[in-house]
Amino acid sequence: MLKLSIIIPVFNVEEYLKECLDSILAQKNRGIEIILVENYSSDKSYEICKDYKEKFPKVIKVFRTKKWGASAVRNYGVKKASGEYLWFIDSDDWIEKGAIEKVLGKVEKKEADVVCISVRRVYEDGRTNILTAVNPKEKNWKERYIMYGFPPFQNIYRKDFWAKNFEFPEGIIHEDMAILSTVILYTEKISAIDEVIYNYRQRKNSVLHQEGWNPHSLDIFKALGILYGKFNEKGMLERYKAEIEYFFIWNLLIDSAKDFRDYSEGKAGKEQTKLILKQFFPNWMKNKYFRNKSLKFKLNCYRGYLGI
């Protein structure tokens, strides 16, 4: 039986796709499949997919879909996957030597529903920083898991567990924000790989880092609404109120506030941010995690709240 399905959305990434695929194929690939879901690129991405499929027919599957966005493409890939586990890898990123062997070793040993990994963010100017795995051996790991805000590639999921409980919301960006922090509501069978095995490329023309105003920046409100709703459905809003509140603070007042502040089209986002915090978290300034942050962080949050 195939152990691991690696699902890679592909759209206008001819500059990066080969590096991504080579980093996977250079490793022991017995028991894995690579599912490339190509989204009708305007560059040579599809030709690269076909070329690699021809060279590695037993490992690579190529599909095309006109479904919009990474969410729909990943959902499509899940339906095509045959592996026991799923790993959502971005087509402009790459993995470290031995990464697949470490992942397979962990899932076989622990039989986890989720394996969390450590990730290196790599910036265009050469800077790097680390997104560390949340390890269940740590104190208050569930609280940290909720606050962390995982990108899809930082967890490997048992397919049956994922298909039963999750699907990426389609038609929006920030889709990972809507569901991934809710994983602990569905299982405690979580394991961790503490060493860095994945490289996350930070580039200006990616979906989340585009130059100029992106109307989908307002999708954050839909994503946060889904997140809030899932905790409400499970009766866990009060149990994790401080963590959910901080998640809203960070994503609305720090991360998205930059987009809303820098563009005139972001006025609606600034207004919606204030309304949501007043409605759901009117005392956000007293949040225990916020109060322990630096003065600079707090001032930036105040700026985001005031829209300045």
pLDDT in tens, the chain (308 residues): 679 999 999 999 999 999 999 999 998 767 899 999 999 999 999 999 999 999 999 999 999 998 888 899 999 999 999 999 999 999 999 999 999 999 998 887 778 999 999 999 999 988 999 999 999 999 999 999 999 888 999 999 999 999 999 999 998 888 899 999 999 999 999 999 999 999 999 977 654 445 666 777 888 999 999 999 999 999 999 999 999 999 999 999 998 887 887 777 778 888 999 999 999 999 999 999 999 999 999 999 999 998 87
Q: Note whether 81 and 228 are same-domain residues.
A: no
Could you tell me the CA-to-CA distances from 231 to 64, 146, 225 in Å, in that order? 35, 11, 10
**């569930």: which residue's tokens?**
142
Whether residue 14 is found in the same domain as residue 32: yes
Q: Give residue for tokens 């809507």.
A: 178
Rounded-to-integer distance, Cα 268 and Cα 289, Å: 27
**CATH value at residue 24:** 3.90.550.10
Distance CA 111, CA 288 (A): 35
- Do 233 and 189 belong to one domain? no
Neighbours of 9 (CB within 10 A): 26
Among the three residues 192, 208, 224, which one is the final residue of a domain in this structure? 208
∠ CA 185-191-194, rounded to 5°? 125
The helix (H) or strand (E) run that includes residue 156 is strand 155-158
Number of domains in the chain: 2
Question: CA 260, CA 252: separation in Å to the nearest integer?
Answer: 10
Contact 175, 201 (CB under 8 A): no
Q: Which domain holds residue 34?
A: 4-208
Of 155, 190, 208, the residue that ends a domain is: 208
Chosen domain end from 173, 208, 243: 208
Q: Is 278 found in the same domain as 142?
A: no
The 3-class SS string of 79-148 reads HHCCCCEEEECCCCCEECCCHHHHHHHHHHHHCCCEEEEEEEEEECCCCEEEECCCCCCCCCHHHHHHHH
- 40 and 14 co-located in one domain: yes
- Beta strands, E only, 39-136: 60-64, 85-88, 94-95, 114-123, 128-131
H/E run at residue 20: helix 17-25
Q: CB under 8 Å to 304, separation ≥6 — which residues?
A: 252, 253, 254, 257, 260, 261, 273
Listed residue (130, 131, 11, 117) closest to 72, CA to CA: 11
Q: How far apart are CA 41 and CA 17, in angstroms?
A: 12
* Same-domain status, 14 and 159: yes
Instruction: Give the pLDDT of residue 206.
Output: 52
pLDDT value of residue 166: 95
Regarding whether 194 and 48 lie in a shared domain, the answer is yes
